[in-house]
Amino acid sequence: MQQLSAMDAVFLSMETPETPSHIGGLAILDPSATVDFSYTGFIDFMEARLAVCPRFMWTVQEVPFGLDRPYWVESDGLAPRDQVRRIALPAPGGPEELSELTGMLFERPLDRNRPLWEMYFIEGIQGGRVALLWKVHHCLMDGASGAGLTELLFDLQPEPAERPLVPVDDNAHAGAPASLAQMAYQAVRNGLELPAAQARHLGRALPSLGDLFGSNNAKAAAATPRASFNGKVGTRRAVAWSRISLDDTMSIKNELGVKLNDVVLAITGGAMRHYLESRSELPEASLVASVPVSTRSQDDKSIGNQISEVNVYWGTDIECPVSRVSAIHAASHVAKEDIRAGRGVDFIGLFSETIVPGALQLFMRLTASASESMPLPANAVVSNVRMTPVPVYIAGAKLEGMVPISLLAPTQGVNITLVSYCGELHFGITADPDLLPEPWLLAGAIPKALLELQESLSGLQALSA
């Protein structure tokens, strides 16, 4: 028997009908480099690659009433090809049609009776391109996992290699379904460990929880203003995307002596400022970004989740782009020092190690229903995931572009995730269209925010010359 780890299981427990916990992406492929690229050929290629990683064909067995973490179980008679659907994009096959189809397909929850991922092979895209849309439940992997579903499909040349580019380090195993007696015994054992974990997390979290839920509740709520997209998240999803030069972003980072993520936050903060200003919805106080932080070591290629999160000042109240970078850099430094000192609330760790799955699911449903009155730790997630600086191929087709797509929290109607690939930063905007009606306007503001930052920096350099 193999139970999900506490951190992997939390993403199943946090899932509600309105906020499914799968992540994914949209790969735009150019098959012109190979003469025999086809749906059938891709299926054969994919099955060969996934054979090295059995985890992607497991299913979950849940414990009655959510009294303990679920178990991994070997799927019965299913193959990877059973998880892939073939679909054609309506004419004219442009970004608008692809975006609409992507949102419609991505918003559907994964079937927990099947392996917790699926793919869509999308044909009919302008220019002879093909798109590959994948959805993977967050309990299977995090954004920085070294053996993610798509990474197993990558090659450095059009001719597929014998082995996946990314090695797989996965010692977990699945087996036959657990009996009720086995589940009861393990639930008691795990339950005995809860008090110690609760004391450890609550001792660290009490000061921050007091600000959020205690007498300082009004002060805490004022610290994170509500934006127009911070409401009750529904079931619909919209997806938009854009890209900017990584070299240009790195030049700004080096010139100002800050971190790359500081510049990314300043650019996305500027884009959000433009979006909200254009709709006369910009709060006076700055919005707050929730930034996922990988806790895995650099050489760790294992599957599964190893993440925490930190809430960072987003600088949406600062008009000058360079000043925004400096303010974010200072705030990020303080936030990182708090993490090193063990201050603040690690919500992912708190939820995963101190609450049984059934209670956490009830809590998430109550949170979603009371989203308008609950304190708001952050307005949106901004996540930065590294990929590869060189071109890669999937089944012989060149990967031209990547659109990361992520999950939404109950009170956060937008998520901004980016990946670095082949000299560019590829941004994916995932949104509830009822809360963020114009995701393409926000996506288009990202390159404009970079240009404004470059011009502002050039102006300051000219003044100091």
Question: Lowest-confidence range among 274-283, 312-321, 365-374, 409-418?
Answer: 365-374
Superfamily classification of domain 1-465: Chloramphenicol acetyltransferase-like domain (3.30.559.10)
Query: What pLDDT digit, counting tens, does each position of 56-91 carry?
Result: 899 999 999 999 999 999 988 899 999 999 999 988
Query: How confident is the model at residue 214, as a pLDDT?
Result: 43
Query: What pLDDT digit, counting tens, does each position of 157-177 carry?
Result: 999 888 777 766 666 778 889
Could you tell me the sign of the dihedral formed by the alpha carbons of 329, 331, 332, 336, in that order? positive
Query: What pLDDT digit, counting tens, does each position of 182-219 carry?
Result: 999 999 999 988 888 777 766 666 655 554 444 333 33
Query: What pLDDT digit, counting tens, does each position of 253-264 carry?
Result: 999 999 999 999
Question: What is the pTM for the complete model shown?
Answer: 0.90
Question: Lowest-confidence range among 1-5, 192-196, 293-297, 419-423?
Answer: 293-297
Q: Any idea what DSSP says for residue 49?
A: H
138 included as an active-site residue: yes
State percent of the chain over pLDDT 70: 86
Query: What pLDDT digit, counting tens, does each position of 112-160 carry?
Result: 999 999 999 999 999 999 999 999 999 887 655 544 677 889 999 999 8
Confidence bin at 34 (pLDDT 50/70/90): confident
Between CA 232 and CA 444 the distance in angstroms is 25
Catalytic residue of the set 22, 137, 138, 201: 138
The helix or strand, by DSSP H or E, that contains position 74, with its residue range, turns out to be: strand 71-74
> Residue 246 burial by CB count (10 A; 0-12/13-18/19+): exposed, middle or buried?
middle
Which has more confidence, 302 or 311? 311
Q: Would you list the domain boundaries of the chain?
A: 1-465
Residues 6+ apart with CB under 8 A from 327: 313, 315, 318
Q: Are 409 and 17 in contact (CB under 8 A)?
A: no
Q: Using alpha carbons only, give the angle 441, 446, 448 rounded to the nearest 5 degrees.
A: 95
Query: What pLDDT digit, counting tens, does each position of 373-432 carry?
Result: 677 889 999 999 888 889 999 999 999 999 999 999 989 999 999 999 999 999 999 999
Q: From residue 8, how far is each of 133, 351, 364, 367, 400 by CA, in Å?
A: 23, 11, 16, 21, 31
Query: How confident is the model at residue 235, as a pLDDT?
Result: 96
Question: Lowest-confidence range among 98-102, 275-279, 333-337, 370-374?
Answer: 370-374
